[in-house]
Amino acid sequence: MMRYAELVDTYTSLESTSGTLEQTELLVELLLELEPDQFEPVVRLLRGRVFAPWEDADIGVSSRGLTTALAQASGGSAAQIEALWRDTGDLGLTAEAVMADATQRTLMSRPVTVGRVYDGLRDLATIDGAGSRRRRLQTVAGLLSDATPLEARYLARTVVGHLRLGVGDGLLRDAIVAAFGADAPAAAAHVERAFHLTSDLAHVASVAATEGIAGCAAIELEPFRPVRAMLATKAAGISDGMTAVAPSYDAVRLERKYDGIRIQLHHVDGESRLFTRRLAEITRQFPEVLAAAQGALSAEGAIVDGELVGVDPASGRPVPFQQLSRRIKRKHDIRAIAAEVPVRLFLFDLLWCDGVSLLDRPLASRIARLEAVCTPTPGAIELATAIDGPSPEAAQAFYDAAVAAGHEGVMLKNREASYQPGTRVGVMMKHKPLMEPLDLIITRAQWSEGRRSAYLGRLFLGCYDPDRDAVCEVGRLSTGYTDAELETLTDRLLERKQAVEGRQVRLDQDLLIEVGFEEIQRSDTYGSGYALRFPRYRRMRPDLGPSDAATLAEVAAAYDAQGAS
Ligand code: AMP
């Protein structure tokens, strides 16, 4: 049985050391002393959280609640304790001082062990019903009154979630390697991989201690234990991205980049659970996704990677992320909000299937398996729209269409690459317009060349300057629309024809469109003094008039903002 005082010893040493090497050394000493069943409590308590990220649980004691527990444990007055808290600004130091002065001490105090603190704090989350606050505070007061003043300092900080010892993932990983793998080849890589697969350093540490680094190397994916997602790097543009992401165009896969939240769907024997990229479980919030998963997946077991997107029930277009986050936060009346913000899940990778990890297989083979075990349910669970081995022109057109359909951009992926959990990799890149789209006025139009020569496909764009009540041009676009959209647009423009000058048509300046673009530059070409780079048609805005257009000041602010980023 490990006494809490021993852990507190390490806490105080860590607090008084800022050097990473010394801190690692302190952790190594501690890890080497632990019995197998102590890794979970000790590693979690070092991080200051008794729950794993995917446990949907909370200690449920506020700072004010803690002062009440301190009053109970010490026999002091709540007002005095609060005054001390205000002075020190730290509940830990407050608890320490209050317990040092305590008038009331239990005669037969039970020893405070690591197990008692860990289990006691975890159990707080299970207390509910009438009188639950009182019972929670009683448990905390019991722990505090058995603790020494120094123990009370860290106990208090842990209860309110403010331990902040700076023991991050990197430090702990280094300590595990130094403690159990100093002589093992590639120990750091094995420990890191095991962490990314299990998201649980307590588990990794205990495997390293009992089975050595070879045990860590043998750790595999497990359903219902979320894995850390593979992350993307940024592409400078579509054609740059295509050459950077894979050795040949044939090996490139482009997918729509959906704007929602990254989701891992774990599914085994009819039970499905959902986790976010930050490993939080959000199964209960999306009952309709679980129901759809039952119907869509034919594998008995699967871990699938995808993006959950909120859609507007009327238009079917994606809604801003903020809407979707309302669903994640909502813990009650779930059916009502599900009707308000329906969601669609787009799947793009399969990491594990029927007991076998697919991580080391090439993307193309993982996708083939995904297609084999998933029958999409349109509107509920779908596979990401994709194009394999495109030419640069086809890739650009795919990107334009993705953005025009209201999606964020595209992902560029190497079809030959394995899945590397938890890492930002060059084999998966993202490309999206840098800037928020602008609503702009079409100032003039010009006949297109070639296949589209019957249409007014070159559009000059203007923003509005309220100071001068004038429209000033910011650029010209000739891409982003479908043939059908261009035909409608041409009809609308011809209704506004004022005069024809060569291939150009002068217009009444009251038709607005939403325009996506990558960047804004300073430029003498247009009256505004700015020019949009790579502008793209997104949609008509017949609901807006000229005074609703982006103003010159907004364009200037967007220009300034990109300099800051
Ligand atoms: P970002 O959040 O800008 O770093 O972009 C990467 C994120 O895009 C991923 O973490 C996913 O949440 C999201 N995403 C949307 N569509 C896809 C897709 N088809 N493939 C991979 N990630 C996607």
User: What single string gives the DSSP state of each residue in 303-365?
Assistant: EEEEEEEEB-TTT-PBPPHHHHHHHHH--S-HHHHHHHS-EEEEEEEEEEETTEE-TTS-HHH
> Two tokens at 310?
């909120």
Residue 491 has pLDDT above 50, yes or no: yes
Ligand 1 site, residue 232, Cβ cutoff 6 A: yes
Cα 421 off chain centre by: 14
Strand, coil or helix: 197: helix
State the average pLDDT for the chain. Answer: 93
pLDDT of residue 325: 85
pTM of the model: 0.76
Strand, coil or helix: 468: coil
Residue 108 has pLDDT above 80, yes or no: no
List the end-to-end C-alpha distance of the chain, in Å, as a whole number.
52
Helix or strand holding residue 207 (H, E): helix 201-217
Cβ–Cβ < 8 Å for 202, 219: no
Residue with more model confidence, 315 or 197 = 197
Pick the most confident of 59-63, 345-349, 560-564.
Answer: 345-349
Ligand 1 pocket, mutate which of 233, 253, 262 (most atoms under 8 A from CB) = 262
Return the DSSP state at 193: H
Ligand 1 site, residue 255, Cβ cutoff 6 A: yes
Tell me how far the alpha carbon of residue 430 lies from the centroid of ligand 1, in angstroms. 7
Cβ–Cβ < 8 Å for 427, 438: no
Q: Which residues contact 523 (CB under 8 A, 6 or more apart)?
A: 529, 530, 531
Percent of the chain having pLDDT more than 90? 75
pLDDT of residue 375: 97
Give the model's confidence band at 565: pLDDT under 50 very low, under 70 low, under 90 confident, else very high.
very low
Tell me how far the alpha carbon of residue 259 lies from the centroid of ligand 1, in angstroms. 7
pLDDT of residue 564: 46
Q: What is the CA radius of gyration of the chain?
A: 30
Q: How many CB atoms lie within 10 A of CB 450?
A: 6
* Nearest ligand 1 atom to alpha carbon 432: 3
pLDDT of residue 558: 86
Residue 115 has pLDDT above 80, yes or no: yes
Strand, coil or helix: 387: strand
Residue 104 has pLDDT above 80, yes or no: no
Ligand 1 site, residue 384, Cβ cutoff 6 A: yes
Q: Which residue numbers are catalytic?
A: 257
The one-letter amino acid code at 434 reads L
Strand, coil or helix: 166: coil
Tell me how far the alpha carbon of residue 292 lies from the centroid of ligand 1, in angstroms. 22
**Residue 357 backbone phi and psi in degrees, to 5:** -75, 135
Ligand 1 site, residue 386, Cβ cutoff 6 A: no
Average pLDDT over residues 385-389: 98
Percent of the chain having pLDDT more than 70? 98
Ligand 1 site, residue 419, Cβ cutoff 6 A: no
Ligand 1 site, residue 411, Cβ cutoff 6 A: yes
> Two tokens at 304?
């699938």
d(CA 148, CA 145): 8
Give the model's confidence band at 107: pLDDT under 50 very low, under 70 low, under 90 confident, else very high.
low
Pick the most confident of 230-234, 262-266, 450-454.
Answer: 262-266
d(CA 373, CA 415): 19
Ligand 1 pocket, mutate which of 252, 430, 434, 565 (most atoms under 8 A from CB) = 430
- Residue bearing the CA closest to ligand 1, atom 16: 257
DSSP states of 80-146: HHHHHHHHHS-HHHHHHHHHHT-S---SSPPP-BHHHHHHHHHHHTT--STTHHHHHHHHHHHHHHH
433-486, pLDDT tens digit by residue?
A: 767 889 999 999 999 988 899 999 999 999 999 888 899 999 999 998 988 999
> Two tokens at 321?
């992320």
Cβ–Cβ < 8 Å for 157, 164: yes
Cβ–Cβ < 8 Å for 275, 223: no
